[in-house]
Amino acid sequence: MIKIDGSLLLAGTLWVLGVSLGSCDNGSPSEPNNFNVISYEPVAVQKSNPMATWAHVMPWFETKETSDNGQWGQHWTMGTRNPDKTTSDGIREIASHYYPLTGPYASGDQDIIEYQLLLMKYSGIDGVLIDWYGVSDWNDYASNRRNTEAIIEALKKVGLSFAIVYEDRTIPEVIKYDNSTDRIIAAQTDMEYIEENYFSNPQYINIKGKPLLLVFGPEEFHSPDEWDEILAAFKNKPCFITLNGTSWQTVPHSSGEYIWVDNSSIDNKYGSINKFDVFIGGAYPGFNDFYNEGGWGTGFQWSIDFNQGQTLKQNLQKAENSGASYVQLITWNDYGEGTMIEPTKEFGFSLLEIVQEFTGVGYNASHLEKVYDLYQLRKSISRTDDKIKMLDQAFYYLVSLQHEKANQLIDSVKNIQ
C-alpha cells in the first residue's frame, strides 16, 4: 500500500481551488496554520417556485454542557427519558419516536446552527419562523431567547431571513414568576423587546412593508380589547398573523391567519384564504407525539402517518395550489410532536429532498450530505486545530454557492484526519 502524505494532498487541493496560503518563514505553505480564510457574501439560491418557504424552528433544545442546570434539556427528556442511556451503537434515549442524524443537540450550538441553516439554504428554504417565549427568565425562557438570538446572528452570513412566532400562553407562568407585573404589561414588555431587538434587523421578514409577527394562538388573550392594549406597545404596527380560525379574537389588528397541524382537514383551512390580506399555508410531514410515553400528560389521541414522505409532498402541493404566497414548514425540529423535517435516522435527507423538489432548486441529497460532512468534521476537530480555518473556508464557499470548491475542501480535510 502506498502511503500518501496528507499535507501534500491538501496543498494540491488548495492550489486547484485557488485558496490563499499565507507566506510564512516558519512553515511550509501546505501547513493549515498558514491558511487565509476568504469570507464571501451569501448568494441567493435560484428557485423555480416563487412561493416564500419558511421553516418553523424550535430553539429550546439543550445538552448538559449548555443548560443552566447542567442537565439535559426537558425537550430531550420530558419526564421519563435519560439521554445518558445509550444503545450499543451509541443512540441516546430521547423523548421522541425519531432521532436526529446529529444526535440530540443544543439549539445554541454554533455548529448545529451552521448545519441547520446551510441545509435550509440548499433546500430552497428562505428563512425561519422562530418559536419565541418572551423576555422572562422563568424556567428555560432565557435560554430559548439566547438560542433564538444565536440563530439570528448567523442568518446574515447564510443569507436567510426570520420572523418571530410569539407564544402568549407563557404569560400565566411569567406573572407567577414575577408577581410585580400583570398580564397585559408582561405582554407589552415582550412586544417592546421584539420591536427594539428584532424588527430593525435587516434579515427580518416584512410583508407589505410591515414586519411579520405571528402569535401561536392566541391562547391567553382572547379579546380584541386586550390585543388593542398589547399591540399599542408598538411604535410601528406589525403584520400580525394568528392561528387558523382565531383571528376574530384580535380584530381589527390581525392581517390574516396561518395553518397549523391538527387532525382536521387541511383543505377546509384553505377555504378561508380569500377572507384575509395575508394567508400563510402550511405543510407538515406527519404527526406522532411522545407526550404520553414521555410522561407529559396523555398526549394527542391521533397521529398523522408520514406515508414515506407523501404526506409532506401532498401538503406542499396543496399550499401551492391554494394560491397562497407563503408556506410554513411545520416543523423543522419539533421532536416531541414528531413533525420534524430536518435529517433523522429514520428518514435521512428524504424530507428535505421533497422540499428541494417543491422549491425548485438545482440541488439534491448529495449537497445536503456534504453539509452533514462539514458538521461532523466540526465536531471531530478541536477548536484549536488549524484545520478549522479550512472548514471556515468551506462554509464561505457554501453560502456563496461555490459548492464544488466546498466539497473539495471538505473531502481534503476528511482525507487528512
Q: Tell me if the domain spanning 52-369 has CATH number 3.30.365.10.
A: no
Q: What is the pLDDT of residues 176-228, one digit of tens each?
A: 988 878 999 999 999 999 999 999 999 999 999 999 999 999 999 999 999 99
Contacts of 122 (CB under 8 A, 6+ apart): 45, 356, 361, 363, 367, 368, 371, 398, 403
Report, in angstroms and rounded to the nearest whole number, the Rg of the chain calculated over CA atoms: 23
Write down the pTM of the prediction.
0.93
Q: What is the pLDDT of residues 254-313, one digit of tens each?
A: 999 999 999 999 999 999 999 999 999 999 999 999 999 999 999 999 999 999 999 999
Contacts of 351 (CB under 8 A, 6+ apart): 285, 309, 312, 341, 343
pLDDT computed for residue 20 by the predictor: 46
Q: How high is the mean pLDDT of the chain?
A: 93
**Range(s) for CATH 3.20.20.80 in the chain?**
52-369
Q: What is the pLDDT of residues 132-166, one digit of tens each?
A: 999 999 989 999 999 999 999 999 999 999 999 99
